[in-house]
Chain A
Amino acid sequence: MKLKKDLVISNIFRIVSYFIFTIVLMIFVLTIGNGISYFSFDFFTKAPMDGMTAGGILPAILGSLSVLALSLLFSIPIGMFTGIYLAEYGGRSAMAQLIMTAITSLAGVPSVVFGLFGLSLFCITFGFRTSLIAGSLTLSIMTLPVIASTVNEALKAIPRTVRESAYALGAKKTEVIFKVLIPYARSRILTAILIGGGRVIGETAPILLTGAIFFSTALPNSIMDPVMTLPSHIYYISMAYGENAQWMAKGTSAFLMIFVLIIYGIAFKVRRKMNER
């Protein structure tokens, strides 16, 4: 009789889980399926024209890639050094606890609040105005906690004896860290960077406030120019343009989704390979 209870419950749970799976699958299929039909050579090489009823999304693609590259340029080194400090230098000191708390708190702050911060610090106080650099700096602050905490945990997970073998050969602390420990943890760190990158490319709210513009014709000339990005483009079209422009939103959604799925797919593959080692 007890077995029957398990059977019933497990099947209910199974059905619900399958249902969720189907919905998720449906979202992927509908978004990509319907959007892909709008892919064309023009779609990827031209700027939008005729009030979003024709043309392509090239400026948005370039804008997103620029934001991605620039923000990783800042967040990777700072995040890594912070993680290294926490794992190898801080120990249990008050300073390390403080930094750890700061990192965890930052990780929980809503993205739109980062947007406000970026607006007041970079756009206004530093005078960058709505620009690529302001948006990238804001997003790099958002990604910093993820990278820092992953590096911290990855380093802490390395077996003690590996560390000691390096010291036993007469290496100094920084040599041990950069020549042995970081390479040892490189898969995990790479996964964190990929996932961080995936987030950067998809975040909309902060970039709306600090870097995005709804229309531009070409690659940003300098980092002080505002940019079109894929997510902000989807937003503007969905909210401000009519039926005739919706095709572009669908196409952009599909492209963005495929891009993100590929990044995450690679990240999980790397993680799986690492777990097997």
Chain B
Amino acid sequence: MSDKNRPIIEVKNFYGYYGEKAGLKDVNFNFLSKKITAIIGPSGCGKSTLLRSINRMNDEIPVYHTEGDILYEGKNVYDSDVDLTVMRKKVGMVFQKPTPFPMSIYDNVAFGPRIHGLRNKQKIEEIVENSLKQASLWDEVKDELFKSAYSLSGGQQQRLCIARALAVDPEVILLDEPTSALDPIATQNIEVLLEELSENYTIIIVTHNLAQAVRISDYMLFMYRGELIESGATSAIVKQPENKLTEQYLNGKIG
């Protein structure tokens, strides 16, 4: 069975509530393997909520509860026997503000493998180098691996966070507005990086930057007030949006 066009994350009749208020209403969508899918929409539409529901990051919010299923490789991530620490190795996340840990560049990337039990120094070195190379950061830091991660620029720190997420060998990478805190050049670097990474990883990115979504994504979801309004191939939606709201958003009339 071909690897491409295989649904890797299936969202079925999914509702997400913050207390009484519904942040997500009846969302249905299949994210395809090794493609870049962008989730777009105006502030408050639920795009971050959806993303954070996939790796259950919203568990940290006590008032959040859900209905419906999100399947990863066929298994519901909300099942009671799911080990979050294992699942999150496979589904990684990068946040809007770069969050380097208070340690060296090397230790930041090695953090994931180490806590999952890897002790072999050789193997760790390989993984660190490999991840930094994949994140297009290796050449810039290879001589200063043991300097503090805070010595890097904003764009470099964000690539470090991507390297860190890659180090645990995920299949899916979730990104929540990864470039909104960066300057245009750093943003471009990250966009190029994501396109390269989609050869090997499934990328799901939330962004309020419409142009960015159009630039890099294969598929798009447009959300509005908690509902999935329209979804499909990016080129198709941009050329001919089916829904009025989508059209308005694409033309800058709402949002």
Whether A and B touch (Cβ < 8 Å) is answered with yes
With the chains together, A180 CA to B99 CA distance in Å? 11
- Looking at the complex, which of A147-155, A162-170, A258-266 is the stretch in contact with chain B? A162-170
With the chains together, A159 CA to B95 CA distance in Å? 12
Check A184 for interface membership: any CB of B closer than 8 A: yes
Check B55 for interface membership: any CB of A closer than 8 A: yes
Q: Is B99 a contact of A162 with CB atoms below 8 Å?
A: yes
Chain B residue contacts of A15, Cβ below 8 A? none
Chain B residue contacts of A186, Cβ below 8 A? 102
- Looking at the complex, which of B12-20, B22-30, B86-94 is the stretch in contact with chain A? B86-94
Check B150 for interface membership: any CB of A closer than 8 A: yes
Q: Which of A159, A164, A183 contacts B57 (CB 8 A)?
A: A164
- Looking at the complex, which of A58-66, A171-179, A192-200, A212-220 is the stretch in contact with chain B? A171-179
Check A2 for interface membership: any CB of B closer than 8 A: no
With the chains together, A164 CA to B98 CA distance in Å? 12
Q: Which of B84, B85, B86, B95 contacts A165 (CB 8 A)?
A: B95
Check A275 for interface membership: any CB of B closer than 8 A: no
A159 with B101, Cβ < 8 A, contacts A167-B88, A168-B92 known: no
Pair count A-B, CB < 8 A: 70
Q: Is B95 a contact of A184 with CB atoms below 8 Å?
A: no
With the chains together, A52 CA to B62 CA distance in Å? 65
Q: Which of A164, A168, A170 contacts B115 (CB 8 A)?
A: A170
Check B105 for interface membership: any CB of A closer than 8 A: no
Q: Is B102 a contact of A183 with CB atoms below 8 Å?
A: yes
Q: Is A169 a contact of B99 with CB atoms below 8 Å?
A: no
Check B165 for interface membership: any CB of A closer than 8 A: yes
Q: Is B102 a contact of A169 with CB atoms below 8 Å?
A: no
With the chains together, A126 CA to B85 CA distance in Å? 46
With the chains together, A180 CA to B92 CA distance in Å? 18
Chain A residue contacts of B115, Cβ below 8 A? 169-172, 175, 179
Contact string, A254-277, partner B, CB cutoff 8 A, digits 1/0? 000000000000000000000001
Chain A residue contacts of B97, Cβ below 8 A? 159, 161
Chain A residue contacts of B232, Cβ below 8 A? none
Q: Is A168 a contact of B55 with CB atoms below 8 Å?
A: yes
The smallest C-beta distance from A16 to any residue of chain B, in angstroms, reads 42
With the chains together, A76 CA to B99 CA distance in Å? 28
Q: Which of A170, A180, A183 contacts B84 (CB 8 A)?
A: A170
Contact string, B48-64, partner A, CB cutoff 8 A, digits 1/0? 00000001010010100
Q: Which of A161, A170, A175, A179 contacts B99 (CB 8 A)?
A: A161
Q: Is B101 a contact of A170 with CB atoms below 8 Å?
A: no
A170 with B168, Cβ < 8 A, contacts A161-B95, A161-B99, A164-B95 known: yes
Chain B residue contacts of A184, Cβ below 8 A? 101-102
The smallest C-beta distance from A160 to any residue of chain B, in angstroms, reads 8
The smallest C-beta distance from B4 to any residue of chain A, in angstroms, reads 26
- Chain B residue at minimal CB-CB distance from A175: B115
Chain A residue contacts of B93, Cβ below 8 A? 164-165, 168
A170 with B112, Cβ < 8 A, contacts A159-B99, A165-B99, A184-B101 known: yes
Interface residue ranges, A against B (CB under 8 Å): 91, 159, 161-172, 175, 179-180, 183-184, 186, 277
The 8 A-B pairs at the shortest CB distance, nearest first, are namely: A168-B93, A170-B88, A169-B112, A170-B85, A165-B99, A161-B95, A162-B99, A183-B102
